[in-house]
């Protein structure tokens, strides 16, 4: 079975919904989740997720608050939970302190897209190991084979393959970049490859996972949380429809 990884931004639709959404993702049959840490300048994200970041910050979400919420669901939500965020707020919190808290509240790994690999090797890799946390790097269709292999060697858990070079949620995203997916499949990487950016439904998910181990859905899911009054039912139905 291909793995379905669902992303959502912590602190939306209301500040206290994080645990409820995490539980819903697990119960609806997803295999893992990425929980986004809201940030005031989410440069790699498209308009929907930017809007989610903005709402979450206005709602009062902070890293400290998020850790409190994660502590409450540590024993009930047991599928892998990955924190995704930008480097600046993590450094302000204190990198080692952040990793220590992650290990205490049941986080299995981190994705920090703007952490340079060279810095990771020099400063941060050992800290992540110390707290038994995976770290995932991102690759794109423009990433050279040599660099893909290098980022795969640094990653653990999985390698995040961005399906196109646009921001997340761009409606023009080419979901199935055939030559890129073939290239990734031929490289004999150590980590499973999960494809993200632009997956909106079951057929997109099936398309991109023909040659990859799984897919990541963010914008389409976050859109439901932002726009639907009965988001709990709609969100559960959406995950069921992709996994069915």
Known catalytic membership, residue 145: no
Backbone angles phi, psi at 16, to 5 degrees: -95, 10
Helix (H, G, I), strand (E, B) or coil at 243: helix
Q: Is 126 a catalytic residue?
A: no
- Eight-state DSSP code of residue 115: S
Kindly report the backbone phi and psi dihedral angles of residue 226, in degrees, each rounded to the nearest multiple of 5, phi listed first: -80, -35
DSSP symbol at 139 = E
Question: CA 19, CA 70: separation in Å to the nearest integer?
Answer: 7
**What is d(CA 169, CA 51) in angstroms, rounded to the nearest whole number?**
12
Residue 201 DSSP label? S
Q: Which residues, other chains included, contact 173 with Cβ-Cβ below 8 Å and sequence gap of 6+?
A: 163, 164, 166, 197, 198
Q: Which of 45, 51, 152, 204 is catalytic?
A: 45
Q: How far apart are CA 233 and CA 59, in angstroms?
A: 22
Tell me how many degrees the CA angle 61-116-104 measures, rounded to the nearest 5. Answer: 45
Q: Which residues pair with 160 in a beta bridge?
A: 138, 194
Catalytic residue of the set 17, 27, 34, 206: 34
Query: Quick check: 206 and 171 in contact, CB under 8 A?
Result: no
Tell me whether residue 75 is exposed, middle or buried, using C-beta atoms within 10 angstroms of its C-beta: 0 to 12, 13 to 18, 19 or more: exposed
Instruction: Find out whether the peptide bond into 13 is cis, omega within 30 degrees of 0.
Output: yes
Which residues are catalytic, by number? 34, 45
């Amino acid at each position: 079975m291909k793995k379905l990884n669902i992303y959502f931004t912590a602190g939306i639709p209301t500040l206290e919904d994080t645990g409820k959404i995490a539980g819903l993702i697990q119960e609806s049959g997803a295999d893992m989740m990425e929980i986004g840490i809201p940030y005031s300048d989410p440069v790699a994200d498209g308009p929907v997720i930017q809007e989610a970041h903005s709402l979450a910050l206005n709602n009062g979400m902070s890293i400290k608050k998020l850790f409190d919420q994660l502590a409450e669901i540590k024993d009930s939500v047991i599928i892998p939970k990955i924190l995704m965020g930008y480097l600046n707020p993590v450094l302000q919190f204190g990198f080692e302190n952040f990793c220590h808290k992650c290990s205490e509240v049941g986080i299995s790994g981190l994705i920090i897209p703007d952490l340079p690999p060279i810095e990771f090797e020099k400063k941060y890799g050992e800290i992540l190991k110390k707290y038994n946390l995976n770290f995932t790097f991102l690759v794109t269709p423009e990433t050279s084979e040599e660099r893909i292999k290098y980022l795969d060697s640094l990653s653990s858990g999985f390698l995040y393959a961005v399906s196109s070079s646009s921001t997340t949620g761009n409606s023009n995203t080419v979901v199935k970049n055939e030559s890129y997916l073939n290239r990734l499949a031929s490289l004999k990487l150590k980590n499973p490859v999960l494809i993200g950016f632009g997956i909106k439904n079951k057929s997109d998910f099936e398309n991109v996972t023909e040659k990859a181990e799984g897919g990541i859905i963010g914008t389409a899911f976050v859109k439901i949380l932002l726009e639907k009054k009965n988001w709990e039912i709609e969100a559960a139905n959406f995950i069921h429809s992709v996994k069915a």
